[in-house]
Structure 1
Amino acid sequence: MTKRTLLVLGAGGHGKAVAEAALLSGAWQRVLFVDDRWPELRESFGLPVVANLAGLPAVTGQAEAAIAAVGSNALREQWLAAIRSVGLPVATVIHPRACVSTSARIGDGTAIMAMAMVGVDVQIGEGAIVNAGAVVDHDACLGDLAHLGVGVNIAGGVRVGACAWLQAGCSAGYRVVVADGALHAPGTALSV
């Protein structure tokens, strides 16, 4: 059996969590990191760091797909573009301990982390993050590159705009609309 290999761009904290989720999911048997601290950084989370971002074209043949795994929405957008520019498919990673409705639509390059819940008829754009313990209830919508921090709770029908970042512990009540690019501090409660 051939080992399916995933390139994870970013070997920091989020990158390590995405790598672990990918391996635990069973969809990937091998993970390689691409990180701009290479060549000084050769290993992260016990996994090899094989190139920096500029070296991405040279390592594309070593993997079946790649994901941009960094918390910064702007960097994640740049890294997604870099993945596409070298012709690699963009992977979506879902931790096996996440609960994701079969009716949810998840965009390419999204990471859904441990203990997250994604409900019925949820729509999530490309390159989004639903971090550990976050809840995205029925009919909610996350735009491209939206980032829900650890423990964020989004009620049914909430709309989170593209590149918005709700930091750890935020909550949004029913039908709240979060503007594109909005940044909300940890613990912020949003209501209509």
Structure 2
Amino acid sequence: MLKNTLIILLLFALSMANAQSGEVQTREKYRNEFKDILFSPGVIVQHETFLEFNVSIGEVTAINGKIPLEGFEGFRVGFETNLRDRHNHTIAPKIGYEISATLFSIRLSAVNYFQNGNSEFRLLPEIGISMYGWVNLTYGYGIPFNNGNLDNVSCHRVALSFNLDKRLKEALFQ
């Protein structure tokens, strides 16, 4: 079941990355499309407070015109943890895709929680508001694929995250 879910998630991510808008996409254009690397930390509240640490690889857009378009689109790889020492220490590696434009943010992630010998895989869609892609406040619902009996991880979560990039910060504070 877990293997099939990961394959479906990988195919979904690859289809999003290869979506074309009616123009021929050359290898050179694809190579230039995913060039920005960002550090994306955050705070998550889901029955207990967690910290997240991500590396985001994608494209930063900063267009100042009549209609400004600032944001980030790309893949996120990282983990989240509650930073406890022993009892109920939880760590969760994750991978996902994010689109954070001027005022909105959407994400889809696959997360696997590990706690006290238990493991639980979840598919995590999130939606929320964004401030030019630099700061995002999202609500998510983790869809569990097994019952890992995790004590401190609820299905509902609220996350505050930052995409640390100079262009996004300048777009927000100018």
**Shorter-normalised TM-score: what interval?**
under 0.3
| Structure having the larger proportion of residues in strand | 2
TM-score (norm 2): 0.23
Report which of the two structures shows the higher radius of gyration computed on alpha carbons: 2
